[in-house]
Amino acid sequence: MVDPVIRAGDVRGAVSAAVSAQPVTDIHTHLFGPEFGELLLWGVDELLTYHYLIAETLRASDVGYDAYWAMSQREQADLVWKTLFIENSPISEACRGVVTALQAYGFDLTTRDLDSYRDALRDVRVEDHIDRVFELANVESVIMTNDPFDPVEQPAWAADRAGDPRFLPALRIDPLLNAYSETGRPTLTALGYAADAELSATGLAEIRRFLDDWVTRMQPQYMAVSLPPDFAYPEDSERGTIIRECVLPVSRERNVPFAVMIGVKRAVNPRLRMAGDGVAKADMSSLERLLEQHPDNKILATLLSRENQHELCVIGRKFPNLLVFGCWWFMNNPSIIDEITRQRIELLGLSVIPQHSDARILDQLVYKWPHSRAVIADVLADKYADLSASGWAIRQSELERDIAALLGGNFRRFLAR
Ligand code: HDL
Ligand code: ZN
């Protein structure tokens, strides 16, 4: 079969079409398969009470923290809609996302009748809605955030999970690493692991046994932790010791990569609850030392501060055992996705995972991916146009190969290495 060379004038169109057509593996979300019941959030009121929109609503309305939290979810969603969509144009990225999703469902946005949108989804079966959302977003699979320290989620893992294969597990260990004394150790003790305060050899062996058992039970794609800006490694702390003595050995032995998500300042405004987290620039030398001291460990990394993104690309050049991923959280806005995707392609070529959605509500896939694909396609169109102008023949099959790698293949190859 002829493998056409794309004419210079057609490169942009070919790139846009290829990015749009490529099903994506979404490597970090807070979604749950339907077998997790109420843990899977979906629908109009969940979309509108997404914590990003709570923060924006409390800026724009006269409603105080306590009055907001005293409302029902429906009342909260009504306030968000009135404040951000009716009294103001929904121009922020989180607001525009809701508009994109409602439009994609075919709702009449000229009515702005929130109840009609609610009614349209009321009788939908969740399994059917999942099919529709995955098709609209062109998503082939999502990786969940599964927390064995969460008393609500923990029981779901007691039985064998014959779940929807499109929802893949990830073992999230923040309480073990960031709150060992307060949460990690008490939970392990309750689960029958003799973790101790001194982190003795026996105690560390028990933490390894806990991780090993949960890797067996959950079959996670990776183990993940979010880390503060002052994350230090190596460090003679509970976190530094457990990472070195427990997480990295189990990660290597079980071939389950360790994902570090660095730069979050938890609860800078506790009154906003989940919406109250902030960001700060991290010291990247800790990531360098983690990678340099453990060359046989596979590390996934995403950084929350815009100021860390260029350093992250340079570190990616130094360490093949690092896979850079996503435009995380406060990075997930078109202006920043554009900037850091250009840096990544220029410095790391195709050896990155440009985006994940971080979706918390199923319907968010319907906007987060179209919004990101548009920006990523724009960047790639420029880069392939530059390559073509430099004299390289851009072949259709090679373009499609490259984009398949960016939107899922790189991740699967990293896991299989
Ligand atoms: O720690 C994380 O995984 C973050 O993504 C937080 O869940 C955050 O609240 C979020 O949803 N960001 O998009
Ligand atoms: Zn997340």
Give the nearest ligand 1 atom to 226 CA.
1
Residue 158 has pLDDT above 80, yes or no: yes
Ligand 1 centroid, distance to 329 Cα (angstroms): 6
Q: Which residues contact 101 (CB under 8 A, 6 or more apart)?
A: 47, 363, 364, 366, 367
Of the chain, the end-to-end C-alpha distance in Å amounts to 31
Mean pLDDT of 277-295: 98
pLDDT of residue 90: 99
What is the band of 99 on the pLDDT scale with cuts at 50, 70, 90?
very high
What is the band of 159 on the pLDDT scale with cuts at 50, 70, 90?
confident
Ligand minimally distant from the alpha carbon of residue 226? 1
Q: Distance between CA 332 and CA 96 in Å, rounded?
A: 13
Structure-block tokens of residue 37: 């019941």
- DSSP letter assigned to residue 270: G
Residue 311 belongs to what H/E stretch? helix 309-318
Q: Is residue 260 a contact partner of residue 301, using CB atoms and an 8 Å limit?
A: yes
Total count of residues recorded for the chain: 417
Q: Distance between CA 229 and CA 243 in Å, rounded?
A: 17
Of 281, 273, 199, 268, whose CA–CA distance to 235 is shortest?
199
Instruction: List helix spans (H) across 160-245.
Output: 174-178, 185-190, 201-218, 238-242
Residue 279 has pLDDT above 80, yes or no: yes
Residue 137 has pLDDT above 90, yes or no: yes
Ligand 1 centroid, distance to 358 Cα (angstroms): 7
What is the band of 101 on the pLDDT scale with cuts at 50, 70, 90?
very high
Residue in the block written with tokens 């109420």: 38
Ligand 1 centroid, distance to 299 Cα (angstroms): 19
* Ligand 1 in reach of 265 Cβ (< 6 A): no
Q: Is residue 309 a contact partner of residue 315, using CB atoms and an 8 Å limit?
A: no
Tell me which residue has its CA closest to atom 10 in ligand 1: 329
Give the nearest ligand 1 atom to 328 CA.
13
The three-state secondary structure class of 242 is helix
Ligand 1 centroid, distance to 338 Cα (angstroms): 21
Q: Is 172 left (phi over 0), alpha (psi -120 to 50) or beta?
A: beta
Ligand 1 centroid, distance to 260 Cα (angstroms): 13
pLDDT of residue 163: 92
Q: Distance between CA 235 and CA 131 in Å, rounded?
A: 46
Residue 329 has pLDDT above 90, yes or no: yes
Ligand 2 centroid, distance to 118 Cα (angstroms): 26
Give the nearest ligand 1 atom to 329 CA.
13
What is the band of 363 on the pLDDT scale with cuts at 50, 70, 90?
very high
Ligand 2 centroid, distance to 210 Cα (angstroms): 23
Ligand 2 centroid, distance to 29 Cα (angstroms): 6
Residue 161 has pLDDT above 80, yes or no: no
Give the nearest ligand 1 atom to 174 CA.
1
Tell me which residue has its CA closest to atom 2 in ligand 1: 226
Structure-block tokens of residue 399: 């373009």
Say what percent of the chain tops pLDDT 70: 100
Dihedral angle of Cα 195, 274, 225, 402, to the nearest 10 degrees? 160
* CB-side neighbour CA atoms (13 Å) of 400: 12
Give the nearest ligand 1 atom to 274 CA.
9
Give the nearest ligand 1 atom to 360 CA.
11
Ligand minimally distant from the alpha carbon of residue 28? 2
Mean pLDDT of the chain: 98
pLDDT of residue 3: 83
- DSSP letter assigned to residue 304: S
Distances (CA, A) of 397 to 11, 348, 402: 13, 21, 9
Q: Are strands 171-172 and 167-168 parallel, antiparallel or unpaired?
A: unpaired
Of 101, 106, 56, whose CA–CA distance to 81 is shortest?
56
Mean pLDDT of 158-164: 85
pLDDT of residue 366: 98
* Ligand 1 in reach of 358 Cβ (< 6 A): yes
Query: Mind spelling out the 3-state secondary structure of 103-150?
Result: HHCCCCCCCCCHHHHHHHHHCCCHHHHHHHHHHHHCEEEEECCECCCC
Ligand 1 centroid, distance to 236 Cα (angstroms): 27
pLDDT of residue 22: 99
Mean pLDDT of 39-48: 98
What's the pLDDT tens digit per position in 373-417? 999 999 999 999 999 999 999 999 999 999 999 999 999 999 999
The three-state secondary structure class of 334 is helix
The three-state secondary structure class of 85 is helix
Q: Distance between CA 26 and CA 18 in Å, rounded?
A: 17
Q: Which CATH number fits domain 8-38+143-416: 3.20.20.140, 3.30.2010.20, 2.40.30.10, 3.40.47.10?
A: 3.20.20.140
Q: Distance between CA 346 and CA 310 in Å, rounded?
A: 11
Residue 316 has pLDDT above 80, yes or no: yes
* Ligand 1 in reach of 226 Cβ (< 6 A): yes
Among 47, 329, 356, name the best residue to mutate to test ligand 1's pocket (greatest count of ligand atoms within 8 A of Cβ). 329
Tell me which residue has its CA closest to atom 4 in ligand 1: 329
Structure-block tokens of residue 200: 């003795």
Residue 2 has pLDDT above 80, yes or no: no
The three-state secondary structure class of 353 is strand
Q: Which residues of 353-372 are buried (b: 16+ CB within 10 A; e: fewer)?
A: bbbbbbbbbbbbbbbbbbbb
Ligand minimally distant from the alpha carbon of residue 147? 1
* Ligand 1 in reach of 206 Cβ (< 6 A): no
The three-state secondary structure class of 412 is helix
* Ligand 1 in reach of 329 Cβ (< 6 A): yes
